[in-house]
Chains A and B, each alone.
Chain A
Amino acid sequence: MININKVLVLGSGALKIGEAGEFDYSGSQALKALREEGIFTILINPNIATVQTSEGVADKIYFLPVTPFFIEKVIEKERPEGILLSFGGQTALNCGIELFKSGILEKYNIKVLGTPVQSIIDTEDRQIFADNLRKINIKTPRSIAVTTIDDALNASDTLGFPIIVRAAFTLGGQGSGFCYNRDELLKLAGTAFSYSSQILVEESLKGWKEVEYEVVRDCYDNCITVCNMENFDPLGIHTGESIVVAPSQTLTNREYHKLRSLSIEIVRNVGVVGECNVQYALDPNSEDYRVIEVNARLSRSSALASKATGYPLAFVAAKLALGYGLHELKNSVTKTTTAFFEPALDYIVVKIPRWDLNKFIGVSKEIGSSMKSVGEIMAIGRTFEEAIQKGLRMVGQGTHGFVGNHDIEFDDIDQALSEPTDMRIYSIASAFEAGYTVEKIHDLTKIDNWFLVKLKSIYDHMVQLKTLEKIEDISAEMMKATKQKGFSDFQIARFLNEQPGNMHKEMLEVRNYRKSLGVFPYIKQIDTLAAEYPAQTNYLYMTYNGSAHDIIPEKDGKSVIVLGSGAYRIGSSVEFDWCSVNALTTARNEGYRGVMINFNPETVSTDYDTCDRLFFDELSFERTMDIIELEQPKGVIVSTGGQIANNLVMRLHGQNVPILGTAPESIDNAENRHKFSSLLDTLKIDQPRWKELVEIEQIYDFVDEVGFPVLIRPSYVLSGAAMNVVSNRQELDFFLTLAARVSKEYPVVVSEFIQNAKEIEIDAVADKGEVMAYAISEHIEFAGVHSGDATIVFPAQKMYFETSRRIKKISRDIAKALNISGPFNMQFLARDNDIKVIECNLRASRSFPFVSKVLKINLIELATKIMLGIKVEKPSKSAFEMDYVGIKASQFSFSRLQKADPVLGVEMASTGEVGCIGENYYEALLKAMLSVGYRIPEKNILFSSGDTRSKIELLTSAKMLVERGYNLFATKGSAKFLSDNDVPVTTLYWPDEAESPNTLEYLKSRKIDLVINIPKNLSKTELYNDYEIRRAAVDFNIPLITNARLASAFIYAICKLQPEDIAINSWDEY
């Protein structure tokens, strides 16, 4: 054992594409492991919504940017003896490498626990890594760098066709492609040399299987592989973008163990102490392989492997970093057997990514070698068919499984199969429909036939069901077979009703008929050793491929079921995990059995340690009812899991399920636009004028009445995207023809849009209609930026006292009218003291963890107690007593989303957030902005500042910047405005002007340190030029601000404060 008493742990910051909730899970596990050893833990992570930044998880928490600068400051203050680098994703690892290289770790005599930094550096450098592997005769993809066409041909002789040609040193893959023969190579190499003097000729591994191993090694050189996984999508699609199964399905024993042994050899060679992920390409026609990637840290795959097997990789890795041997640790599922073992699964898991590409303008839907997905789900079953159909429902994009989905059509099936997009799996169903054979689909997709055959069996089964006339024609045997292939009651209802009426009613008929046939799902345990020994495990899933329950719930009325939040997506992520975990913890502390239902492998709520029972399963009505019928709980908490859980309320209520907290009817009164609107009218509370319209003409009439701009929400668009603000008739026409289908079935909601209004939110908890605690926060941006993208200040700093008083009154009135018991959130528009309600959710909101942590009152704990019927006192503390400020800023992932327009609007676009605390508004803002990747500009700032109002708004800021010695650059209009107001500025030509100095040229050569580009209006029909500037800023990693109010706040902050002025205070020091 290493003798160490104080350890610094680095988090991964805001959730972003490629670095999401999995690191909250791994970090939380590491902290738990350290604290169990009595070690004092310090955590740096500005992601305030995480579980790891909650009270009692780490001893000291710093909501500061995870950058070398701030880490050094914390080190200087705290003087830790050790540091953990591998639990905070690439962000933490990169910081660790920098701190190592700059000698900071040595200077402060800090020991890196776990895998040595040099080993990490050696795996991060592709060339060094490939060379090291070659020394031990392990294969990596062959690649030859050439500078002439002749050498390219020679290289192709060595490698054999097909090959890939890549032009070196270019962005976005220009001049790259596949060649199948010499002629193609001659042509492509010619093009490639026009981009670059050097090209890489590489062997093509297209169509090879992609397989991963999660390896653990201890300081005694003992190694295990905890899990292997096989990608459904062959090589070419990033593993984060692939459907993945565990364990591998199409590998023989020899292949499985050959790759396993190689993984161990690699991990020994690297010198990992802890966890490591090894990715392979495996030839589908031989036992040949290539090592394609090694990650010597916890990863998304390791989180998935932990959940897939029940083996807590991060927890064990942290213990190993302290010097334990694997054989000295216990298996935390069985509690009796050793941690030195490899889990045996008796089920299959399927991971499916969740994309939100519809939320972005201009982004390509194609998936490939870089990651675009924002979340993922894991489905567990005992057949592939069962798991994949469960999984496709879990993704939450409105589909019901592999088949039975309306509105999914492909213009060109061949293209949809061969050029994968986020919808590829459904193009396979369409291909079956169009009569394609498995072989033909395989030729186009290279997906292994085994997977395709299984999908075909789902399709064939559907065809069989469709031949039946009515539900009662399904025999018990047929019903069982149907459920064993993962069909939902909804799918069955859809296949048997040509003209669907009330789907919920029809689905209930199927459900009741199925139950009358005695066809039920069974509860199975995940015990890590496939029932070889008895194990007391609470990690559960449900399956129809069984004949007995592993556990029989007590039915003693002591269970409280908490519905989780499902896949992380834009609009719902780690914050609801925090809420769910806190609801569970509170229920357990109050003596109830906390039962969790959730299926997101990146979460802490799906860690079986956080609850008494974990059902890793669907949050559908069907599955939730199955579990409720077995558990017969005291009640169900629906208000901490975001919108998925909330949407189930009325249907659960229809089955007389006890809902804890606010009555379902009240929730419906708030959720239903019409009912809520009339409630507001009754209470004489103002709201923006709106109408639900079913004809185009009505829309024009209504717009004539309220005037432009208006907010338009069409109902025909999957996942509610395509909400937009239009400012004139032309935009309205364009928008309606483009996006909306307007009919009785698909009405369009049009609301008056109030410009230049402040947006204010209240997060509150009420008990039987009486508000017990609240937090009022304000947005820095004016209304028009989605509340999930806005920068939020709590306590509100710049609000009239009168506004605050009115907001409290409205909230109290609504809480009373709806008799709220539990959490709720409301959003308001305020202009002068004119307050309008724009939204009301009778559930926890995205900002609950932020305000709870800033206020230091856990609003979810309070709400949960109330929902459980426990009498609570009003917390005595109020926001007015706080002598500090919290600011929540949003993290965007535009750099991952090629071609997407990085502009903010009424649709949410951010993938994550941070929350920082400061002694004043500007300090908090600076911390928060630096935490989401902004940098303090060195010297050059580009202004391209939209309409006159934004120009005026930014004038003072521009002057301050000049006083501070910054150089300003601007596009024509802005430059003229600034010069006219005596601000020195250099004019840059627009991107579409061929003249120099040009904005694009300045951006590409990184002469600009900050871009302020304000769109001219709120519509998304933006001019090419502005888009080019914004996109170039993102592509060349230059900080970009697109909102005038945020820009001016940020400029104020950087002009007032230097990094050195930022207080290095931990949470408890405020």
Chain B
Amino acid sequence: MAKEITAKLVLEDGTVFIGKSFGFEGSVAGEVVFNTSMTGYPESLTDPSFAGQIMVATYPLIGNYGVPEATMVDGLPDFFESDRIQVTALIVSDYSEQYSHWSAKRSLGDWLKEFKIPGLYGIDTRELTKIIREKGAMMGKIVFGNDDPGFHDPNTENLVANVSTDKVITYGNGSTRILLVDCGVKYNIIRHFLKRDTTVIRVPWDYDYSNEKYDGLFISNGPGNPKMCEETIQHLDLSLKQDTPIFGICLGNQLLALASGADTYKLKYGHRSHNQPVLQCGTNKAMVTSQNHGFAIDNKTLSSDWEPFFENLNDGTNEGIRHKTRPVFSVQFHPEASSGPTDSEYLFDDFLKIVRKTKF
């Protein structure tokens, strides 16, 4: 047996797991979160919403189909949700160094090493998940040898500022102009807009877009506590006073709520999976959605102009809001999927229909 390098995963409650390294060998700290999806690790690992987090895959067999090449399509790397791996570290149970897929160009381990991201396997990820789910937010660190990085709560920093673009980038040349406020946008959101005859103007999270020309405003997903994004909320507050159609996803949903005067709170059990059931309020229409969030909108704090749009069928929490009279709505889940189910993709069509109706 080849001698493997081992490292410790230490949780803030003192629990220690010993794993074997398959990524970069360096100590790191962050919030430990889990993800119960059974496929889509290249997408999840590059999802900026996971910034600052040590991701635990509950599905035990990871790395099976390797990692594809980042071929650029429309200025975006195919198969990936951003330009780099966003997680702080990855924890799995059984890792496949030998992979098999026509699209694969390298192993997951090699990819992690390239971005200097540690990865551990041989850990009971089910047991680990049971521990962290009870804690709400559990800090943890990966310790190689004696190099103890100490605990670090990424939620105390402005993660959105770290993952957002630092300049304005324009994609595509479609007839409808979408201004996309990047709080850590997943590239598949941009791809979805581009597929629908739009020009996407991607701007930094704190960018004052009041002088930009656009037909519809989009607020992206992103990591961490929504209350850290004060600038975005302020800009949104102004936009809400106009008639611009607005669509938000995930963090965008929470920011819109905060801008409207509602409040958000930390969930006891965060939603981190591909199998989250949501129901459109007042209908029998249900969908399976991809989600990754620890905060939610408090329905009780919604002002009278607003109403819940979707609800989670498991725990009844808010999954989206909409303005009762204006063309503004947002959802907590990820209609862009990638990774995950594509049931709610139609929301992009719905939004653009509204935008185009308003425009013409």
| A interface list, Cβ under 8 A from B | 220-224, 247-254, 256-257, 260-261, 264, 284-286, 325-327, 336-338, 340-348, 382-384, 448-450, 453-454, 464, 477-478, 481, 522, 524, 529-534, 545-548, 550
Q: Decide yes or no: A529 and B60 within 8 Å by CB, A222-B284, A250-B101 being known contacts.
A: no
Contacting residue for B100 out of A325, A448, A478, CB 8 A: A448
Measured CB to CB, the nearest residue on chain A to B58 is: A530
Q: Which residue of A lies closest to B78 (CB)?
A: A254
Chain B residues positioned under 8 Å from A454 (CB to CB): 96
Q: Flag if B313 contacts A249 (CB, 8 Å).
A: no
Q: Select the stretch in B82-90, B223-231, B234-242, B268-276 that faces chain A.
A: B268-276
Give the interface residue-count category, chain B. Answer: 35 or more
Q: Which of A249, A327, A450 contacts B286 (CB 8 A)?
A: A327
- Are A532 and B272 closer than 8 Å at their CB atoms? yes
Q: For B58, what are the chain A residues with a Cβ–Cβ distance below 8 Å?
A: 344, 346, 530-532
Q: Is the CB of B43 within 8 A of A530?
A: no
Chain B: minimal CB distance from A555 (Å): 21
Q: Is the CB of B314 within 8 A of A345?
A: no
CB-defined contacts of B101 to chain A, threshold 8 Å: 250, 252
Known: A344-B274, A522-B124. 4 other contacts (CB 8 A): A221-B285, A252-B79, A252-B101, A532-B34
Q: Does B40 contact A (CB under 8 A)?
A: yes
User: Which residues in B have their C-beta under 8 angstroms from that of A532?
Assistant: 34, 36, 58, 129, 133, 269, 272-273
Q: A777 CB to closest chain B CB, in angstroms?
A: 50
Complex interface: chain A residues within 8 A of B72 (CB): none
- Assess whether B39 is in contact with A247, with CB atoms less than 8 Å apart: yes
Per the bound structure, the CA–CA distance linking A728 and B129 in Å amounts to 70
| A252 touching B129 in the complex, CB below 8 Å, given contacts A344-B273, A449-B100 | no
By CB atoms of chain B within 10 A, which of A248, A340, A454, A533 has the most? A340
Instruction: State how many angstroms separate the Cβ of B267 from the closest Cβ of chain A.
Output: 11
| CB proximity of A352 to chain B, nearest CB, Å | 18
Known: A220-B285, A340-B277, A546-B127. A453 touches B269 (CB 8 A): no
Chain B 314-351, CB-CB to A under 8 Å as 1, else 0, gives: 11000000000000000000000111111100000000
Q: List 11 A-B contacts (CB under 8 A).
A: A252-B40, A254-B79, A257-B341, A261-B342, A336-B314, A346-B60, A464-B1, A478-B1, A531-B58, A533-B315, A550-B130
Say whether B137 faces chain A, with CB atoms less than 8 Å apart.
no
B155 within 8 A of A: no
What residues of B have a CB within 8 angstroms of the CB of A260 in the complex? 341-342
Most buried by B among A222, A252, A453, A529: A252
Which residues of chain B from 102 to 150 have a CB within 8 Å of any chain A CB?
102-103, 123-127, 129-130, 133
B164 within 8 A of A: no
Q: Which residues of B contact A250 (CB under 8 A)?
A: 64-65, 100-101
A547-B60 in contact given A222-B286, A325-B284, A532-B133 (Cβ < 8 Å): no
Instruction: Decide yes or no whether B99 CB sits under 8 A from chain A.
Output: yes
User: Please, how many angstroms separate the alpha-carbon atoms of A531 and B338 in the complex?
Assistant: 22
In contact, A450 and B96 (Cβ under 8 angstroms): yes
The verdict on B37 contacting chain A, using a C-beta distance below 8 Å, is yes
Among candidates B275, B279, B338, residue contacting A344 with C-beta atoms closer than 8 Å: B275
A481→B269 CA distance, assembly (Å): 33
At the interface, yes or no: B61 with Cβ under 8 Å from chain A? yes
Bound Cα distance from A342 to B124, whole angstroms = 23
Contact mask for chain B residues 280-296; partner A; CB cutoff 8 A; 1 contact, 0 none: 00001111100000000
B209 at the interface (CB under 8 A from A): no
Given contacts A285-B102, A548-B124, contact A529 B36 (CB under 8 A): yes
Chain A residue numbers with a CB within 8 Å of B98 are: 449-450, 453
Contact A337 B59 (CB under 8 A): no
Assess A548 versus B60: contact at CB under 8 Å? Given A220-B284, A247-B38, A251-B65. no
Please tell me if the beta carbons of A345 and B38 are within 8 angstroms of each other in the complex.
yes
Name the residue among B34, B38, B274, B340 with the largest chain A CB count within 10 angstroms. Answer: B38
Whether B94 is near chain A, meaning CB under 8 Å from some CB there, is: yes
Known contacts A253-B339, A532-B133; is-contact A344 B1 (Cβ 8 Å): no
Q: Would you call B65 and A342 a contact (CB within 8 A)?
A: no
Q: Given A341-B275, A344-B273: A547 and B284 within 8 A (CB)?
A: no
Residue B254 is within 8 A (CB to CB) of chain A in the complex: no
- Most B CB contacts (10 A, CB to CB) among A248, A346, A383, A448 go to A346
Residue-wise, chain B 61-92 has the 8 Å CB interface mask toward A (1 for contact) of: 10011001000000000010000000000000
Q: Is B198 an interface residue (CB 8 A)?
A: no
Q: Given A453-B98, A531-B126, decide whether A327 and B273 contact each other with a Cβ distance below 8 A.
A: no
- In the complex, A636→B286 CA distance in Å? 46
The reply to whether A249 and B61 form a contact with Cβ atoms under 8 Å apart is: yes
Neighbour of A533 across the interface among B277, B314, B342, CB < 8 A: B314
Is B100's CB under 8 angstroms from A340's CB? no
Alpha-carbon distance between A481 and B340 when the two chains are bound, in angstroms: 33
Whether B126 pairs with A530 at a CB distance below 8 angstroms is: yes
* B120 nearest CB across to chain A (Å): 13
| C-alpha gap A524/B124 in the complex (Å) | 11
User: Which single residue of chain A is at the shortest CB-CB distance from B59?
Assistant: A346
Residues in A neighbouring B279, C-beta threshold 8 A: 327, 340
Taking the closest CB of chain B, its distance from the CB of A211, in whole angstroms, is 12
CB distance from A390 to the nearest CB of B (A): 15
Write the nearest CB–CB distance from A509 to chain B, whole angstroms: 23
Is the CB of B151 closer than 8 A to any CB of chain A? no
Residue from B43, B96, B269, B275 within 8 A of A253 (CB atoms): B43
Among B36, B124, B286, B337, chain A packs the most CB atoms within 10 A around the CB of B286
Are the CB atoms of A545 and B36 closer together than 8 Å?
Answer: no
- Interface pair A530/B273, CB less than 8 Å apart: yes
- Measured between beta carbons, the chain B residues less than 8 angstroms from A343 are 275
Interface centre among A221, A448, A524, A547 (most CB of B within 10 A): A547
Residues of chain A within 8 A of B102, CB atoms compared:
284-286
B17 touches A (CB below 8 Å): yes
A524 — nearest CB in chain B belongs to which residue?
B126
B92 to chain A, nearest CB (A): 11
Q: Which residues of A contact B60 (CB under 8 A)?
A: 346-348, 382-383, 545
Query: In angstroms, how far is the closest chain B Cβ from the Cβ of A332?
Result: 14
Docked complex Cα distance between A430 and B286 (Å)? 51
Chain B residue numbers with a CB within 8 Å of A529 are 36, 273, 275
What residue of chain A has the Cβ atom nearest to residue B129's Cβ?
A: A531
Minimum Cβ distance to chain B for residue A553 (Å):
18
Chain A residues with Cβ under 8 A from B39's Cβ? 247-248, 251-253, 256
| B148-162 CB contacts (< 8 Å) to partner A | none
Distance of A436 Cα from B311 Cα, bound (Å): 55
Chain B nearest CB, measured from A453 CB (Å): 4
B232 at the interface (CB under 8 A from A): no
Residues in A whose Cβ lies below 8 Å from that of B21: none
Chain B residue nearest to A547 (CB atoms) is: B124
Specify which of A222, A342, A348 is in contact with B341 (CB 8 Å cutoff). Answer: A342
Closest residue to A456 on the B side, CB-wise? B98
Is the beta-carbon distance between B286 and A346 smaller than 8 angstroms?
Answer: no
Chain B residues contacting A342 (CB-CB under 8 Å) are 274-275, 288, 341
Contact assessment for A345 and B59 in the assembled complex, using a CB-CB cutoff below 8 Å:
yes
CA distance A222 to B125 in the complex (A): 32
Given the interface pairs A346-B58, A449-B100, the reply to whether A341 lies near B124 with Cβ below 8 Å is no
In the complex, how many angstroms separate the beta carbon of A787 from the nearest chain B beta carbon?
45
Q: Are B93 and A382 in contact (CB under 8 A)?
A: yes
State the 3 A-B residue pairs at the shortest beta-carbon distance, nearest first: A253-B40, A450-B100, A530-B36
Q: How far is the CA of A327 from the CA of B313 in the complex (A)?
A: 7
CB A518 to nearest CB in B, in angstroms, measures: 14
A1008 to nearest B CB, angstroms?
Answer: 54
A246: nearest chain-B partner, CB-CB: B38
Bound Cα distance A453, B314 (Å) = 39
Residue numbers in A under 8 Å from B313 (CB-CB): 327, 337-338, 340-341
Interface residues of B in 19-53 (CB under 8 A from A): 34, 36-40, 42-43
Chain A residues with CB under 8 A of B65:
250-252, 450
Docked CA distance A530–B103 (Å): 28
Residue with the highest number of chain B CB atoms closer than 10 Å, among A325, A382, A448, A478:
A382
